[in-house]
Structure 1
Amino acid sequence: MLETCVTYSVLPASDLRRATAWYRDKLELEPEQTNEGGVLYGTGSDAKIYVYETANAGTAKNTSMCWLVDDIEATMAHLRERGVEFADYDFPGLTTVNGIATDEMGRSAWFQDSEGNYLCLTQPT
Protein backbone atom coordinates (compact mmCIF):
# COMPACT_ATOMS: atom_id res chain seq x y z
CA MET A 1 0.00 0.00 0.00
CA LEU A 2 2.64 2.58 0.96
CA GLU A 3 5.06 1.64 -1.82
CA THR A 4 3.15 3.90 -4.25
CA CYS A 5 2.85 6.88 -1.89
CA VAL A 6 5.00 10.01 -2.07
CA THR A 7 7.01 10.69 1.08
CA TYR A 8 8.22 13.90 2.63
CA SER A 9 10.84 14.63 5.23
CA VAL A 10 10.11 16.47 8.47
CA LEU A 11 13.09 18.33 9.93
CA PRO A 12 13.19 20.14 13.28
CA ALA A 13 14.48 23.70 13.74
CA SER A 14 15.12 25.47 17.03
CA ASP A 15 15.03 28.80 15.16
CA LEU A 16 12.67 28.67 12.17
CA ARG A 17 13.79 32.05 10.84
CA ARG A 18 17.44 31.02 10.87
CA ALA A 19 16.59 27.66 9.25
CA THR A 20 14.52 29.32 6.51
CA ALA A 21 17.40 31.69 5.72
CA TRP A 22 19.87 28.78 5.67
CA TYR A 23 17.75 26.68 3.29
CA ARG A 24 17.35 29.73 1.03
CA ASP A 25 20.96 30.95 1.13
CA LYS A 26 22.82 27.62 1.17
CA LEU A 27 20.51 25.20 -0.67
CA GLU A 28 18.63 27.71 -2.84
CA LEU A 29 15.24 26.39 -1.73
CA GLU A 30 12.24 28.70 -1.61
CA PRO A 31 9.18 27.90 0.52
CA GLU A 32 6.09 26.54 -1.24
CA GLN A 33 3.99 27.19 1.85
CA THR A 34 4.55 28.86 5.18
CA ASN A 35 2.46 28.72 8.33
CA GLU A 36 2.99 29.57 12.00
CA GLY A 37 4.47 26.16 12.72
CA GLY A 38 6.76 25.64 9.77
CA VAL A 39 7.83 25.92 6.17
CA LEU A 40 7.17 23.47 3.33
CA TYR A 41 9.69 23.14 0.49
CA GLY A 42 9.38 21.37 -2.84
CA THR A 43 12.36 19.49 -4.23
CA GLY A 44 11.72 19.30 -7.96
CA SER A 45 9.68 16.13 -7.69
CA ASP A 46 6.66 15.15 -5.64
CA ALA A 47 8.85 14.88 -2.52
CA LYS A 48 8.64 17.66 0.06
CA ILE A 49 10.59 18.89 3.07
CA TYR A 50 8.75 20.34 6.06
CA VAL A 51 10.87 22.33 8.53
CA TYR A 52 9.13 23.08 11.81
CA GLU A 53 10.12 24.80 15.04
CA THR A 54 10.80 22.69 18.12
CA ALA A 55 13.23 22.59 21.03
CA ASN A 56 14.25 19.05 19.93
CA ALA A 57 16.16 20.29 16.87
CA GLY A 58 19.69 19.02 16.39
CA THR A 59 19.41 16.19 18.91
CA ALA A 60 19.46 13.34 16.37
CA LYS A 61 22.94 12.11 15.49
CA ASN A 62 21.77 10.14 12.46
CA THR A 63 21.09 11.10 8.85
CA SER A 64 17.71 12.79 8.67
CA MET A 65 17.36 13.14 4.91
CA CYS A 66 19.19 12.39 1.64
CA TRP A 67 19.06 13.85 -1.84
CA LEU A 68 19.73 11.48 -4.76
CA VAL A 69 22.03 13.32 -7.15
CA ASP A 70 23.47 12.52 -10.59
CA ASP A 71 26.90 14.10 -10.00
CA ILE A 72 27.98 14.23 -6.37
CA GLU A 73 31.22 16.16 -7.02
CA ALA A 74 29.45 18.91 -8.98
CA THR A 75 26.68 19.17 -6.39
CA MET A 76 29.19 19.35 -3.55
CA ALA A 77 31.26 21.99 -5.37
CA HIS A 78 28.16 24.14 -5.87
CA LEU A 79 27.11 23.80 -2.23
CA ARG A 80 30.65 24.46 -0.98
CA GLU A 81 30.63 27.72 -2.96
CA ARG A 82 27.52 28.64 -0.96
CA GLY A 83 29.24 27.88 2.36
CA VAL A 84 28.08 24.32 3.03
CA GLU A 85 30.71 22.29 4.91
CA PHE A 86 30.88 18.55 4.36
CA ALA A 87 31.89 16.15 7.12
CA ASP A 88 34.86 13.82 6.97
CA TYR A 89 34.65 10.45 8.70
CA ASP A 90 37.24 7.79 9.42
CA PHE A 91 36.00 4.87 11.46
CA PRO A 92 35.30 1.18 10.77
CA GLY A 93 32.71 0.89 8.04
CA LEU A 94 32.82 4.56 6.98
CA THR A 95 35.75 6.52 5.60
CA THR A 96 35.43 9.62 3.45
CA VAL A 97 37.85 11.02 0.89
CA ASN A 98 37.27 14.72 0.21
CA GLY A 99 33.94 14.33 2.02
CA ILE A 100 32.73 11.32 -0.02
CA ALA A 101 32.19 7.78 1.25
CA THR A 102 31.90 4.94 -1.26
CA ASP A 103 30.14 1.62 -0.72
CA GLU A 104 28.20 -0.95 -2.73
CA MET A 105 25.14 1.34 -2.90
CA GLY A 106 27.01 4.35 -4.27
CA ARG A 107 28.78 7.47 -3.07
CA SER A 108 27.54 9.69 -0.23
CA ALA A 109 28.48 12.93 1.52
CA TRP A 110 27.05 14.42 4.72
CA PHE A 111 26.58 17.96 6.00
CA GLN A 112 24.59 19.68 8.74
CA ASP A 113 21.99 22.39 8.34
CA SER A 114 21.83 25.46 10.58
CA GLU A 115 19.83 23.45 13.14
CA GLY A 116 22.22 20.52 13.48
CA ASN A 117 20.26 18.09 11.29
CA TYR A 118 22.47 15.66 9.36
CA LEU A 119 21.66 15.81 5.64
CA CYS A 120 23.15 13.72 2.85
CA LEU A 121 23.84 13.65 -0.85
CA THR A 122 23.90 10.22 -2.49
CA GLN A 123 24.91 9.27 -6.01
CA PRO A 124 23.60 5.72 -6.41
CA THR A 125 25.64 3.18 -8.39
Structure 2
Amino acid sequence: MSADDSDPLARARVATRLPAQDLDRARRFYSEQLGLEPVDERPGGLLYRCGGAEFVLFRSTGASPGTFTQMAWEVDDIETAVSTLKRRGVVFEEVGLPGLLGGGRTSDGIAEIEGNYPSKGARGERGAWFRDSEGNLLGIGQLVL
Protein backbone atom coordinates (compact mmCIF):
# COMPACT_ATOMS: atom_id res chain seq x y z
CA MET A 1 0.00 0.00 0.00
CA SER A 2 1.41 3.41 -0.90
CA ALA A 3 0.68 6.74 0.76
CA ASP A 4 -1.21 9.42 -1.13
CA ASP A 5 -2.70 12.80 -0.27
CA SER A 6 -5.67 11.15 1.44
CA ASP A 7 -3.38 9.60 4.07
CA PRO A 8 -3.14 11.92 7.10
CA LEU A 9 0.55 11.24 7.73
CA ALA A 10 1.48 11.78 4.07
CA ARG A 11 0.25 15.39 4.45
CA ALA A 12 1.76 15.93 7.89
CA ARG A 13 5.01 17.72 8.68
CA VAL A 14 7.72 15.65 10.34
CA ALA A 15 8.98 17.11 13.61
CA THR A 16 11.94 15.44 15.28
CA ARG A 17 12.04 15.17 19.08
CA LEU A 18 15.35 14.68 20.91
CA PRO A 19 15.55 13.91 24.64
CA ALA A 20 17.64 16.05 27.01
CA GLN A 21 18.24 15.18 30.63
CA ASP A 22 19.62 18.69 31.23
CA LEU A 23 17.84 21.22 29.02
CA ASP A 24 20.10 24.13 30.05
CA ARG A 25 23.22 22.13 29.18
CA ALA A 26 21.65 21.12 25.85
CA ARG A 27 20.73 24.75 25.06
CA ARG A 28 24.36 25.80 25.65
CA PHE A 29 25.68 22.98 23.43
CA TYR A 30 23.32 23.79 20.57
CA SER A 31 24.14 27.49 20.86
CA GLU A 32 27.90 27.40 21.46
CA GLN A 33 28.87 24.33 19.43
CA LEU A 34 26.24 24.25 16.68
CA GLY A 35 25.41 27.96 16.41
CA LEU A 36 21.67 27.33 16.82
CA GLU A 37 19.22 29.27 18.98
CA PRO A 38 15.69 28.17 19.86
CA VAL A 39 12.95 30.07 18.03
CA ASP A 40 10.45 29.26 20.76
CA GLU A 41 10.31 27.57 24.12
CA ARG A 42 7.91 26.22 26.68
CA PRO A 43 8.47 24.64 30.08
CA GLY A 44 10.52 21.53 29.36
CA GLY A 45 11.07 22.14 25.66
CA LEU A 46 13.06 24.14 23.11
CA LEU A 47 11.97 24.50 19.47
CA TYR A 48 14.60 24.96 16.73
CA ARG A 49 14.15 25.60 13.00
CA CYS A 50 16.72 24.79 10.31
CA GLY A 51 16.17 25.04 6.57
CA GLY A 52 12.39 24.86 6.74
CA ALA A 53 12.28 21.92 9.17
CA GLU A 54 12.04 21.91 12.92
CA PHE A 55 13.16 19.85 15.87
CA VAL A 56 12.54 19.96 19.58
CA LEU A 57 14.78 19.25 22.54
CA PHE A 58 12.59 18.10 25.41
CA ARG A 59 13.36 17.47 29.07
CA SER A 60 13.39 13.73 29.64
CA THR A 61 14.34 11.48 32.51
CA GLY A 62 15.37 8.84 29.99
CA ALA A 63 18.72 8.87 28.23
CA SER A 64 19.30 8.39 24.53
CA PRO A 65 21.13 5.16 23.73
CA GLY A 66 23.10 7.05 21.06
CA THR A 67 23.50 3.84 19.06
CA PHE A 68 21.96 5.16 15.85
CA THR A 69 21.64 8.45 14.01
CA GLN A 70 18.67 10.26 15.52
CA MET A 71 18.73 13.37 13.35
CA ALA A 72 20.91 14.71 10.54
CA TRP A 73 21.45 17.81 8.44
CA GLU A 74 22.15 17.74 4.69
CA VAL A 75 24.80 20.32 3.78
CA ASP A 76 26.38 21.45 0.52
CA ASP A 77 29.98 21.31 1.83
CA ILE A 78 30.68 18.73 4.51
CA GLU A 79 34.36 19.68 4.93
CA THR A 80 33.42 23.26 5.81
CA ALA A 81 30.63 22.12 8.14
CA VAL A 82 32.87 19.64 9.97
CA SER A 83 35.75 22.12 10.18
CA THR A 84 33.50 24.88 11.56
CA LEU A 85 31.96 22.59 14.16
CA LYS A 86 35.36 21.19 15.20
CA ARG A 87 36.57 24.76 15.83
CA ARG A 88 33.57 25.18 18.12
CA GLY A 89 34.51 22.08 20.09
CA VAL A 90 32.35 19.39 18.46
CA VAL A 91 34.04 15.99 18.55
CA PHE A 92 33.29 13.78 15.54
CA GLU A 93 33.03 10.02 15.82
CA GLU A 94 35.55 7.82 14.02
CA VAL A 95 33.47 4.81 13.03
CA GLY A 96 33.66 1.68 10.98
CA LEU A 97 30.44 0.39 9.45
CA PRO A 98 29.30 -1.83 6.61
CA GLY A 99 28.45 0.26 3.54
CA LEU A 100 31.26 2.75 4.11
CA LEU A 101 33.82 2.98 1.34
CA GLY A 102 37.57 3.35 1.88
CA GLY A 103 37.92 0.32 4.12
CA GLY A 104 34.62 0.87 5.89
CA ARG A 105 35.93 3.63 8.16
CA THR A 106 35.70 7.38 8.53
CA SER A 107 38.74 9.51 7.67
CA ASP A 108 39.12 12.72 9.69
CA GLY A 109 35.55 12.18 10.85
CA ILE A 110 34.06 11.93 7.34
CA ALA A 111 32.81 8.74 5.71
CA GLU A 112 32.21 7.93 2.05
CA ILE A 113 28.87 6.09 1.93
CA GLU A 114 27.98 3.76 -0.90
CA GLY A 115 24.76 4.50 -2.79
CA ASN A 116 21.92 6.89 -2.07
CA TYR A 117 18.19 7.10 -2.53
CA PRO A 118 17.38 7.13 -6.28
CA SER A 119 14.87 9.96 -5.85
CA LYS A 120 17.67 12.25 -4.65
CA GLY A 121 19.60 11.80 -7.90
CA ALA A 122 22.88 11.15 -6.13
CA ARG A 123 25.27 8.23 -6.51
CA GLY A 124 26.43 8.35 -2.90
CA GLU A 125 26.75 10.40 0.23
CA ARG A 126 29.47 11.65 2.53
CA GLY A 127 28.64 11.59 6.23
CA ALA A 128 29.95 12.57 9.64
CA TRP A 129 28.56 11.89 13.12
CA PHE A 130 28.84 13.51 16.53
CA ARG A 131 27.04 13.39 19.87
CA ASP A 132 25.31 16.31 21.49
CA SER A 133 25.63 17.07 25.20
CA GLU A 134 22.83 14.59 25.94
CA GLY A 135 24.28 11.61 24.07
CA ASN A 136 22.05 11.93 20.98
CA LEU A 137 23.90 10.77 17.87
CA LEU A 138 23.58 13.43 15.17
CA GLY A 139 24.81 13.39 11.59
CA ILE A 140 25.80 15.62 8.73
CA GLY A 141 25.48 14.45 5.14
CA GLN A 142 26.44 15.72 1.71
CA LEU A 143 25.09 14.21 -1.49
CA VAL A 144 27.66 12.94 -3.99
CA LEU A 145 26.27 13.80 -7.41
Q: What one-letter code is carried by the residue in structure 2 that aligns with 1:96?
A: T
Alignment partner of 1:73: what SS?
Answer: helix
Q: What one-letter code is carried by the residue in structure 2 that aligns with 1:13?
A: A
CA distance in 2, matches of 1:111, 1:29: 16
CA distance in 2, matches of 1:91, 1:49: 27
Bigger Rg over Cα: 2
Q: Do residues 41 (structure 1) and 51 (structure 2) align?
A: no
* Count of residues in Structure 1 that have an aligned counterpart in Structure 2: 124
- Name the % identity: 41
Q: What one-letter code is carried by the residue in structure 1 that aligns with 2:139?
A: C
8 A contact 2:66–2:131 mirrored in 1: no
TM superposition score normalised by structure 2: 0.79
Q: 1:91 to 1:50 in 2, by over 3 A?
A: closer
Q: String of CA shifts for 1:50-105, please: whole Å, max 9, x gaps.
A: 00011212224111001000000000000001000100012444411111111223
Higher strand share: 1
2:63 maps to: 57
In structure 1, the gaps of 5 or more residues are none
CA RMSD after TM alignment: 1.4
Higher relative contact order (CA 8 A, sep 6+): 1
TM superposition score normalised by structure 1: 0.91
Structure-to-structure mapping, 1:1-125, within 5 angstroms: 1=7, 2-45=9-52, 47-94=53-100, 95-103=105-113, 104-105=115-116, 106-125=125-144
Alignment partner of 1:76: what SS?
Answer: helix
